[in-house]
Amino acid sequence: MRTTFCFLGFVLFGLVLFFILGDALVERSWLDSFGPWVWLVAVGLIIADIFAPIPTTLIITLMGQRYGPILGGLIGSVGSFSAGVIAYGLTRMLGPRFARWLLGKELESAEQFFSQKGAFAVACSRWLPLLPEAISCMAGLARMPFRRYCVALLSGSVPMCFAYSALATTSDNELIPLTISIILPVPIWCIAGRLLRRTTSNSPDT
């Protein structure tokens, strides 16, 4: 139960910030004011999603509109991968003593899950709002093997970023892809959530 409460705590923290701040954190006119440095600001905002409810899918779609699907996808991938590595690293640096204090006896189950099936959870979560960094933090606490984590992170981040960046080319009306980028995570959340629950229920000692 501690593992579940810890995970829900990460998600709840993001939800609270989201309802307080919403997408006011990102406005296109504000992004455009940075001129040629928009891409760098976008990467920084995606990384900041670790601490604040940044609508990353919207940012990636905006990068696709500005730079095209290839470069926009690359910018998004750099930001998403960096955010995942930082979230993982920060929680892993807390050390096993803190992880054991936080998760208690369930630490072994969490370590086993992330060692055996965590790659699917990490890759799948990159397509969803709120969950990516929560999963990354849990992977860090459970000390998921770093190389395996990075492979899973890339496997989820790169396709997601290029897909959302490509949305920018789906219509001459720029509002349509932006709207899709906001709505699309909802059905993905439902499908992925069901798969994640099935994977978790099949893991030992959970």
Where b means 16+ CB within 10 Å and e means fewer, 165-194 reads: bbbbeeeeeeeebbebbeebbeeebeebee
Tokens, residue 60: 């990636």
Q: Say if residues 86 and 50 touch (Cβ distance below 8 Å).
A: yes
Residue 37 belongs to a domain: yes
Residue 46 belongs to a domain: yes
Task: Measure the CA–CA gap between 179 and 114, rounded to whole angstroms.
Answer: 34
Residue 105 belongs to a domain: yes
How many domains, the chain? 1
Match 């803190």 to its residue by tokens: 98
Task: Measure the CA–CA gap between 149 and 145, rounded to whole angstroms.
Answer: 6
If we measure between CA atoms, which residue out of 15, 25, 14, 18 comes closest to residue 59? 25
Residue 41 belongs to a domain: yes
Residue 206 belongs to a domain: no
| Residue 204: per-residue pLDDT | 45
| Residue 179: per-residue pLDDT | 61
pLDDT one digit per residue (tens) for the chain, 206 residues: 454 445 455 445 444 444 444 444 455 666 777 788 899 999 999 998 888 777 788 889 889 988 999 999 999 999 999 999 999 998 888 876 766 665 566 566 666 667 767 788 888 888 776 678 888 888 888 888 898 899 989 988 998 899 888 887 776 555 665 566 556 655 665 665 565 555 545 544 44
Task: Measure the CA–CA gap between 156 and 122, rounded to whole angstroms.
Answer: 7
Residue 159 belongs to a domain: yes
| Residue 195: per-residue pLDDT | 57
Find all residues with CB under 8 Å of 59, minimum gap 6, and list them.
Answer: 26, 31, 42, 45, 46, 76, 79
Find all residues with CB under 8 Å of 28, minimum gap 6, and list them.
Answer: 62
pTM of the model: 0.70
Tokens, residue 154: 């890339």
Q: Say if residues 122 and 85 touch (Cβ distance below 8 Å).
A: no
Task: Measure the CA–CA gap between 22 and 183, rounded to whole angstroms.
Answer: 15
Find all residues with CB under 8 Å of 104, minimum gap 6, and list them.
Answer: 2
- Domain limits for position 168: 2-201
The DSSP output letter for 54 is -
Residue 80 belongs to a domain: yes
